[in-house]
Amino acid sequence: MRISGRAKTGEFQFACGEGERILYAGLHQGVPLPYECASGTCGTCRARLASGKIKELWPDAPGRKHVKPEREEFLMCQATAVDDCEILVPAKIPLDEVQQPRYNLPGELIGFNPCTHDVATFSVRLSEPIQFHAGQFVVIHVPAVGGYRAYSMTNYAQTTNRLDFVIKKMPGGGFSEWLFEADREGTRVNVFGPLGAATLSAEDGGDFLCIAGGSGIAGMMSILSFAEQQDVLTQRNAQVFFGVRTLNDRFFLDELSRFARKFPDRVRITVALSDEEVTSAYAESEGLYYESGFVHEVAGRHIPENSEHLITFIAGPPPMVDGAIRMLLVKHRIPATRIRYDKFS
């Protein structure tokens, strides 16, 4: 099927295979369609069907609250083309810029490993290597579960066919419950990506700050690995704030400790406990700092004056992300252009 589109910056065309999602088809062919979650929640990829026929794949997608079906609006991440289509995309997209390669690849689940009572790591071995930026995510499709779920990579390599992830078991979360309830080693999956704009590049100047709640630490781990590999941490400082409820909810301690110990003058990592009093502000054996409170509040107490140069990364539950943005914008006057996060809600 042929998709002909018009955005506010011009026109574009691409092919959409049978059953292929319109958003993924466009991104795969280098059309910079607007998106954020790419998984049906945020509504950013809304478009209007001007002619032709589509099939909506998830009529109850939360992101549909942003579209007006009576005006033929739909979510490109949750629709496939049944016929040649003309679509309108209400966004200014950089049609002239070369896009990073985006892959649509089979892979298999490997290495499921519980970290806490409700958090585990797992990996996907792809059929061929890909490139991605530190901080990006992919969407994963398991035929037995249906739909695509977004997960940020925790690892970084310039080219790799292994993607590492962290997942929290969510009640009613189809993929996480499926993954936790039985041995899924070797299960075939499909992966589309990489996606997401909350990335760190070697060209970025300035120190950086990461504020993560729970499994939101995933992209920060990738960013730290990138910074280590690219020699960024010998020149720039990194502060990481990792929020969990209690000491028993911590994970990635070994990895975080390794960064803190390897770069003691550059990297400071603080674990914020929201539901437990901290008895020791510094764990000598880990090289990690501890503080009670919500992670964005703890972070706010440690951001120095004159921090306009900071690049900040935020990931976690929506209330935490909103709280962190308000703190950075209002209290610390950090420009919106230096706040990086991907909105999943």
Partner 1 sequence: MTWKKVCSTDTVEKNTLKLFDVEGVPILVGNLGDGEFRAYPPVCPHMEEPLEESGICEEGILTCTKHLWQFDMRNGEPMGPAERPLLIYDAKAEDGHVWVYVERELEYEFDDDDDDDFEF
Closest CA to 167 of 102, 122, 227, 101: 122
How many residues sit close enough to partner 1 to count as binding (CB under 8 A)? 26
Please tell me what DSSP assigns to residue 181: H
* Measured distance CA(180)–CA(12) in Å, rounded: 42
State how far the Cα of 132 lies from the Cα of 102, in Å rounded to an integer. 9
Q: State the nearest-atom distance from the C-beta of 321 to partner 1, in Å.
A: 8
67 half-sphere exposure, CB direction, 13 A CA radius: 31
Q: Is 326 in the site for partner 1 (CB under 8 A)?
A: yes
The closest of 10, 1, 3 to 26, measured between CA atoms, is 3
- Both tokens of 150, joined, read 């977004």
| Residue from 71, 143, 159, 277 binding partner 1 (CB under 8 A) | 71
Site for partner 1 contains 2 (CB under 8 A): no
Q: Which stretch binds partner 1 (CB under 8 A): 97-105, 283-291, 305-313, 337-345?
A: 337-345
Name the minimum Å distance from CB 63 to partner 1.
Answer: 10
By CB neighbour count within 10 A (0-12 exposed, 13-18 middle, 19+ buried), where does 128 fall? exposed
Q: Is 50 in the site for partner 1 (CB under 8 A)?
A: yes
Q: Say whether residue 329 binds partner 1 (CB under 8 A).
A: yes
Which residue in the set 31, 124, 179, 325 belongs to the binding site for partner 1 (CB under 8 A)? Answer: 325
Query: CB 13 → partner 1: shortest distance, Å?
Result: 14
CB of 209 to partner 1, least distance (A): 16
CB 173, min distance to partner 1, A? 23
The smaller minimum CB distance to partner 1, of residues 247 and 329, is found at: 329
List the one residue from 30, 48, 161, 169 that touches partner 1 (CB under 8 A): 48
Given phi > 0 = left and psi -120 to 50 = alpha, else beta, which region is 206?
Answer: left
